């Protein structure tokens, strides 16, 4: 089936703490995954991506981990700030091998609330 | 920094009316997409478009929906006879290339409210 889902719908953290947002995907043929941030009233904004030949990728304050064995993704945000408050979506890009023409299959989203 | 733009930001219409949602993709991009997001739910793929034809469409994209690139800059989504359940945010996205690793850039969305 086509599903990319999330374990936690809401995550509340204290400013300065690290945040971890999880995601599961179902298509083992998928080879590219993206995390998006969506602020209220805006479109999804690219945060970080990872290809299936990697298990970890780091950006500025963000790290994505990929575990292909259990089909699991996570987004780690270091030193979470109030500006990080948003809904975070994982997405899986489907290509000809995994069943699509580069469409994105989004997960359900996790709302991150950062408290001072 | 180039960005995808969408108009209008909010469209209110009566059930059964036709609506056209407009998008201006990033200028050197060649692949275009529409997604929708019902309030509180995940973003769902509707259709992808390249070289003046649909590449792929979802089961949501039925005969009531159509897309068009009427000129070199605009990309439109038309809903011929809107239903209450069409109320959602509609996002346009574009990408430069077809490769799996090309980032899709999203516009700010149009909120469609069907009364």
Q: Which residue of B has its CA nearest to A107?
A: B42
> According to the model, what pLDDT value does residue A7 have?
46
What is the tally of structural domains in chain B?
1
Most confident of A5-14, A23-32, A75-84, B90-99: A75-84
- What's the count of helices (H) and strands (E) in chain B, helices before strands? 0, 11
A97 falls in which pLDDT band (50, 70, 90)? Answer: low
Residues of B with CB under 8 A from a CB of A: 4, 31, 33, 35, 41-45, 48, 55-56, 58, 91, 93, 95, 98-109
Angstrom distance (rounded) from CA B1 to CA B105 = 12
CATH at B31: 2.60.40.10
pLDDT of residue A2: 44
Domain coverage including residue B78:
5-98+105-114
> Residue B29: which of B58, B45, B51 has the closest Cα?
B51
B35-91 tens-digit pLDDT: 999 988 889 999 999 999 999 999 999 999 999 998 888 999 999 999 999 999 999
Q: Is A86 exposed, middle or buried (0-12, 13-18, 19+ CB in 10 A)?
A: buried
| pLDDT of res. B2 | 83
Q: Is A41 on the interface with B (CB under 8 A)?
A: yes
What pLDDT score was predicted for residue B99? 67
Provide CB contacts within 8 A for A110, sequence distance 6+.
A6, A8, A9, A10, A11, A21, A22, A87, A88, A89
Mean pLDDT score of chain B: 93
* pLDDT tens digits for range A15-34: 999 999 999 988 888 889 99
pLDDT at A93: 87
Q: List C-alpha distances in Å: B53 to A66, A78, B12.
A: 34, 43, 28
Q: In whole angstroms, what is the distance from residue B95 CA to residue A90 CA? A: 18
Q: Which of residues 57-86 of A touch B (CB under 8 A)?
A: none
Looking at the predicted structure, is the pLDDT value of residue A91 above 80?
yes
Q: Does A22 touch chain B (CB under 8 A)?
A: no
Q: What is the pLDDT of residue A98?
A: 65
Q: How many CA atoms lie within 13 A of A104 on its CB side?
A: 33
Taken in order of first residue, the domains within chain A and their CATH numbers are 4-115 (2.60.40.10)
Tokens read off for A88: 């975070």
Number of inter-chain CB pairs under 8 A, A vs B: 63
Query: Span A70-78, mean pLDDT?
Result: 96
Cβ contacts of B1 within 8 Å, gap of 6 or more = none
Confidence of residue B26 (pLDDT cuts 50, 70, 90): very high
């Amino acid at each position: 089936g086509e599903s990319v889902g999330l374990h936690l719908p809401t995550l509340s953290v204290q400013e300065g703490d690290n945040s971890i947002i999880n995601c599961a995907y179902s298509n083992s043929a998928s080879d590219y995954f993206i995390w998006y941030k969506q602020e209220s009233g805006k479109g999804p904004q690219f945060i970080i991506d990872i290809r299936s030949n990697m298990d970890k990728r780091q950006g500025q304050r963000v790290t994505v981990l990929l575990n292909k064995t259990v089909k699991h993704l996570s987004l780690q945000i270091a030193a979470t700030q109030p500006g990080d408050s948003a809904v975070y979506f994982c997405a899986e890009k489907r290509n000809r091998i995994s069943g699509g023409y580069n469409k994105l299959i989004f997960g359900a989203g996790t709302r991150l609330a950062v408290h001072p | 920094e180039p960005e995808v733009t969408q108009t209008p930001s909010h469209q209110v219409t009566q059930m059964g009316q036709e609506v056209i949602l407009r998008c201006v993709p990033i200028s050197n991009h060649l692949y275009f997409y529409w997604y929708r997001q019902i309030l509180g739910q995940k973003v769902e793929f509707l259709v992808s478009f390249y070289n003046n034809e649909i590449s792929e469409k979802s089961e949501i994209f039925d005969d009531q929906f159509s897309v068009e690139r009427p000129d070199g800059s605009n990309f439109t989504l038309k809903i011929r006879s809107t239903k209450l359940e069409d109320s959602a945010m509609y996002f346009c996205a574009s990408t430069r290339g077809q490769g799996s690793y090309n980032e899709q850039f999203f516009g700010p969305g149009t909120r469609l409210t069907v009364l």
